[in-house]
Amino acid sequence: MNKYRLTQTRSQLLKLLKNTPLPVSAEDLLQKVPVNKTTIYRQLTSMVAQGLIKPVLFTDRTLRYESADRDHHHHLICTNCKKIIDISFPENIEQTAQTSASAQKFKINTHHLEFFGLCQNCQ
């Protein structure tokens, strides 16, 4: 039996994260879900532990969250307006990384790539 109840807050957070195309911070969620900061962080921690959402730590040290059912992807980040754009690579690029790591007797558990530049609006 699942020990986690689907509370109204949890339901709202899950719906927001599933319907938001980009990772969002706890602060962003606080603006949309009318509960206190402690509740947001407790719910996010719980949902990460359950595998419902994934934390994404960006180079700027901002922790954001996204739905765990999203396809594997990376991010383009505008250094001017901070816009985040999802980007996917062909599988052969991921396989090449695995092969290169294996040649060094290194096992990749996970990875996260960010590319920085200017979005179309800021160029």
Q: Which residues are annotated as a binding site for Zn(2+)?
A: 78, 81, 119, 122
Annotated binding site: 72, 78, 81, 94, 111, 119, 122
What residues form the annotated binding site for Fe cation? 72, 94, 111
Rounded-to-integer distance, Cα 123 and Cα 118, Å: 6
Of 35, 22, 94, nearest to 62 by C-alpha is 22
Q: How far is it, in rounded angstroms, from Cα 12 to Cα 29?
A: 10
- The one-letter amino acid code at 121 reads N
Element (H, E) at 54: strand 53-57
Q: Residue 121: left (phi > 0), alpha (psi -120 to 50), or beta?
A: alpha
